[in-house]
A and B are shown apart, each in its own frame.
Chain A
Amino acid sequence: MNFKKIIILLLASFILTGSSVRAATEKECFEKLSRGIFKFNKGVDRIIIKPVAKGYNKLPKPIKKGTGNFTSNLGTMLTVPNHILQGQWSKAGESAASFVINTTVGVLGFGNPAAKLGLENQQEDVGQTLGAYGFGAGCYFVLPILGPTTVRDTVGMVADTFVDPFAHVTIREKELANVSGSQIDYFSVKGAGAIDFRADNMTNLDSLEKNSLDEYAALKSLFLQNRAKKISNTFSSEDDDWEEFNK
């Protein structure tokens, strides 16, 4: 099956499920396969990602902080168009200002002087934009290496590469404002971001693994809650199921 066919299949399932899945995000596409891929990902994490993240955690704090800032600043290039697509003009302005300040004053984004000026840099992607438009998540599944996702977020992830100027310059090797790059740049930045995330969450993920009866289900719940929070840009711990115990 070629790449185009996969995209068409994903889009078709997205359209078929999109209208009615807002309340059915727990639905699995193919749980057995996803659990298998989850095990595979755990193996990759144990053999490669975790040891690298452990080594990364031993680096001096300024280097770690700088790497996190650098990848996060490049992520702002995807955030700005998504804020615009969601009609969040002031947030788009804040993110754009954050990007300009951090890229210049912050030396290519290794520093984060924008934060000191109160400019918040949220991370937005096309999956979140689709969610904000009212598209449901579709069913849940796990991708090799990339991890947990939903149909909507997978469509969003592919669309990200068309919306993100950084992906335009690197993956498609097009020149933008005299800046050019290669696919290696794109995957290096994404890889560094993943290691930074894994290193930051070393204790959290170890604790989750140790204390879960079903780690797959726990991670699925955390992933879906996190996406819902990012889409609504609010946090709500309300759950009707508590009502019964409030009497």
Chain B
Amino acid sequence: MKKLINTLVFVAATLVCSYSFSYNSDPKIFIAELLDDAVNTLSDKNISISDKNKKIKTIALQNVDMVALGMYTLGPVRKTLDQKTLEKYKILFEKYFLKSLTSRLADYSSQKFEIIGAEQKSEVYTIVSSKIIESSSQPEIKIDWRIYTKDPTKPLIRDLIVEGLSLAKTQKEEFNSILSSNNNDINILFSKLEEFIKN
């Protein structure tokens, strides 16, 4: 009986989770819903920090094109690496990205977002424009979301462009700097990523 109850609770929890993390496929509504969900999670005083981070990570894992972003960020070096090394990189990048994301979102959790509009740039990309509304601590900030729409039923975030500056490109150049100043030794990048994840 206890087993059955546990199973039912697990199934119910899974259903609730899959429902709450399924957003509209229209890129503009997708970002609006995702932001609402993320901001509500971060500002909910009844949820512990650890649970908040878990939920944010789940949202990110389901809605960010993690593999493409990771490979893009690695730059041309990715073409020289074997499959095993690439797999290790993917795991480390995901952990790094999620830790960095939760930290960044916590920094901006008290801010209010507003969706301005959306523009389809190509068959596979739509840019959703939003802004952080001006507050006493900082001016208005424009944030564009680069949404990959190859599968129109499942839009995925590929980049955040803050005031015209691409965070994916910045990340790529940061990794590239570490690699190029260490003879493209991927192990140095791995150790830096591991250090960041640990701290």
Contacts and interface: CB of A to CB of B under 8 A. Distances in A.
A185 interface: no
A222 interface: yes
B169 A221 contact: yes
Given A201-B138, A213-B178, A221-B169, A245 B144 contact: no
Interface string A203-222: 11011001111101110111
Interface stretch (B9-17, B32-40, B55-63, B160-168): B160-168
A159 interface: no
B150 interface: yes
B107 interface: yes
A242 interface: yes
A200 interface: yes
Most A CB atoms within 10 A — which of B100, B136, B165, B175?
Answer: B165
A78 B171 CA distance: 33
Interface stretch (A145-153, A167-175, A233-241): A233-241
Contact of B72 (A201, A203, A242): A242
Given A225-B166, A237-B144, A239-B166, A246 B150 contact: yes
A244 B174 CA distance: 20
A55 to B, nearest CB: 13
B124 interface: yes
B144 A241 contact: no
Given A213-B174, A242-B72, A235 B161 contact: yes
B177 A241 contact: no
A229 interface: yes
Contacts of A241: 72, 75, 172
A57 interface: yes
Contacts of B112: none
A245 B177 contact: no
B103 A217 contact: no
Interface string A14-28: 000000000000100
Interface residues of A, number: 33
B174 A226 contact: no
A119 to B, nearest CB: 18
Interface residues of B, number: 42
A237 B138 contact: no
Interface in B162-193: 162, 164-166, 169-178, 181, 192-193
A61 B172 CA distance: 37
B177 A217 contact: yes
Given A217-B173, A217-B177, A237 B192 contact: no
Given A26-B173, A211-B104, A246-B124, A226 B164 contact: yes
Contacts of B166: 225, 237, 239
Contact of B174 (A31, A57, A207, A212): A212
Contacts of B144: 235, 237
Contact of B100 (A211, A242, A245): A211
Interface in A102-152: none
Contacts of A210: 103, 107
B68 interface: yes
A59 to B, nearest CB: 10
A33 interface: no
A202 interface: yes
Interface of A: 26, 31, 57, 61, 200-204, 206-207, 210-214, 216-218, 220-222, 225-226, 229, 235, 237, 239, 241-242, 244-246
Interface of B: 65, 68, 71-72, 75, 100, 103-104, 107-108, 124, 127, 136-139, 141, 144, 146, 148, 150, 158-159, 161-162, 164-166, 169-178, 181, 192-193, 196
Which 5 A-B pairs rank lowest in CB-CB distance, beginning with the nearest?
A217-B177, A221-B173, A245-B68, A235-B164, A221-B170
17 contacts: A31-B181, A200-B139, A202-B138, A204-B141, A210-B107, A211-B104, A213-B193, A213-B196, A214-B174, A216-B177, A220-B173, A220-B177, A221-B170, A225-B166, A237-B144, A237-B146, A242-B72
